[in-house]
Chains A and B, each alone.
Chain A
Amino acid sequence: QQQVKQSPQSLIVQKGGISIINCAYENTAFDYFPWYQQFPGKGPALLIAIRPDVSEKKEGRFTISFNKSAKQFSLHIMDSQPGDSATYFCAASRRTGGTYKYIFGTGTRLKVLA
């Protein structure tokens, strides 16, 4: 049973445009929601993360919007650049028995056209 649903599967955006990736979760016990960015041949790298006590977090061109009542969160990439072309994974986590186990979405392949 997939607990974090991510959409879209792929996304093409023009340079300078806004990229939006959405995720929905089921387990209300999750308390940490990171976004990871993965370039080909590399491992996922933490991009930005949010906790459920805030509705938005912004770091540079990247913003997470969080809707606790709807159990949804999204990543917005403003002024998208060709260098942002990568696969993005959302995730949710909570501490269970001493382990912070991530539940990942299926990933979104973003391509930003020059």
Chain B
Amino acid sequence: EAGVTQFPSHSVIEKGQTVTLRCDPISGHDNLYWYRRVMGKEIKFLLHFVKESKQDESGMPNNRFLAERTGGTYSTLKVQPAELEDSGVYFCASSQDTNNYGYTFGSGTRLTVV
């Protein structure tokens, strides 16, 4: 079984530019989560999709962040325009159903805004 795949693994962009992160969950996993870790701090919840619907987006920092999951398969997280404080590692995770406590995380995308 393929794991959760994230692209790109690293991205360096200038302040004000746009970046799109992609996550391919494990096939058949309806639940997809985005988390972010700012350097040295805790991993923080951003949002949760069930299939193509946003179940909870309470952790999204502001309206510069837009997450989509068209067709209930892969998801994208767009940051536009990027700010310095957006730097960090963005993790995607998936799980089979909402009664499953255990997530499978991807390797993350390290975003650096300069």
Contacts and interface: CB of A to CB of B under 8 A. Distances in A.
Interface residues of B, number: 26
A42 B104 CA distance: 12
B50 A46 contact: no
A110 B43 CA distance: 17
B48 A99 contact: yes
A101 B108 CA distance: 18
Interface residues of A, number: 28
B43 A44 contact: yes
Interface centre among B48, B100, B103, B107 (most CB of A within 10 A): B103
Interface string A71-92: 0000000000000000001000
Contacts, number: 64
Given A97-B56, A99-B48, A43 B41 contact: no
A55 B91 CA distance: 31
Interface centre among B40, B56, B101, B105 (most CB of A within 10 A): B101
Interface in A37-62: 41-46, 49
Contacts of B111: none
A36 B35 CA distance: 14
Contact of B42 (A4, A34, A41, A45): A4
6 contacts: A6-B42, A43-B107, A43-B108, A45-B105, A102-B35, A107-B42
Interface of A: 2, 4, 6, 32, 34, 36, 41-46, 49, 89, 93, 95-107
